[in-house]
Amino acid sequence: MKRNPLFSEQEKEFEKTCGRRILAGKLIFLLGALAVLGALLYERALPASGSEGGGAAEFYLVTGAALMAASLVRIGRTRRYLLNPELGRAKCLAENDERNRLIGLRCWAFSGYAMFLLLYGGVLISGFINMTVAHVLMAVIAAYALLLGIFRILISRRM
Domain spans of the chain? 1-96, 98-159
Res. 37: pLDDT tops 70? yes
Mean pLDDT, the chain, as a whole number? 87
Contact 141, 115 (CB under 8 A): no
Res. 29: pLDDT tops 90? yes
Quote the percentage of the chain above a pLDDT of 90: 56
Per-residue confidence (pLDDT) for residue 65, from 0 to 100: 96
Query: What does the pLDDT look like over 98-133, one tens digit per residue?
Result: 888 899 889 999 999 999 999 999 999 998 999 999
Per-residue confidence (pLDDT) for residue 96, from 0 to 100: 82
Dist CA 148 CA 142 (whole Å): 10
pLDDT confidence band for 7 (50 / 70 / 90):
low
Q: What is the mean pLDDT of residues 152-159?
A: 89
CA distances from 66 to 31, 62, 63, 149 (A): 11, 6, 5, 32
Res. 1: pLDDT tops 50? no
Neighbours of 43 (CB within 10 A): 14
Name, in order, each residue with C-beta under 8 angstroms of 60's C-beta and a sequence gap of 6 or more: 35, 36, 38, 39, 42
